[in-house]
Amino acid sequence: MGVVSREETFVDFEVPLARVPMVRSQRSTTVLAEIGVLRAMGFGADYERYLGDHGAELLGAVPGTWIPLATLIAHYEACSRLPMSSPQQVQFGSDAAERVVGTLLGTAAKLATTAGASPWTFFTNVGRFWARGYDGGGLRVVKLGVKEARVELAGNPLFEFPFFRNGFRGYALVLLGHFCRRVWVREEPCPRGLSAVYRGQWA
């Protein structure tokens, strides 16, 4: 007989799922990093043209402030119009994450180099990391095995954009990759009531 795995909630939502607040804003630091990556990829002019009325607010944003949801939607709508394949969108997320990994992880980035550090080190503090990037929303981490986890996200309408979902996968690959030698992340079917689900494995 095969071994039956038992799921274990490693980190739960801070409130019941039905009461998870919607994302109201996102930290400008990550959005500015994304704009920088778009320019480096040669998409800067097209992106700015697609921004419409929100262009001045996004292009004039400064690090460490909050960008409201309506403006974020304009940002990801503009990104979604760019001719990027799904793998390119994942790489876009990874490149943006590399620019802000220190800001997102803080002192945990140093822990990643210590003996015994693993993605579970990251997940132990994931609520704090989330709060650095988003005002609202939430996530739950389910332990599936010694080196496997499922992350369930809620309250974030930005996941309606395939561009955002692929980019988020790229972020996850970089952030978890700081705590292990190799990491794999894939998107899973999303049950009603959640915004997105990802499964990660590492070695």
State how beta strands 196-202 and 183-188 pair.
antiparallel
pLDDT band at 5 (very low <50, low <70, confident <90, very high): low
Q: For 33-79, what is each residue's pLDDT tens digit? A: 999 999 999 999 999 999 988 889 999 999 989 999 999 999 999 99
* Neighbouring C-beta atoms of residue 68, cutoff 10 Å: 14
Domains assigned to the chain: 8-202 (3.90.1520.10)
CA dist 62 to 33, 107, 117, 184, 194, Å?
11, 23, 33, 33, 31
pLDDT band at 4 (very low <50, low <70, confident <90, very high): very low
Q: For 159-198, what is each residue's pLDDT tens digit? A: 999 999 999 999 999 999 989 999 999 999 999 999 999 9
User: What's the whole-number average pLDDT of the chain?
Assistant: 91
Beta strands in 24-169 (DSSP E): 25-27, 66-68, 134-135, 138-145, 148-154
Of 135, 50, 41, 130, residue with least CA distance to 93:
41
- pLDDT at position 112 over 90: no
Length of the chain: 203
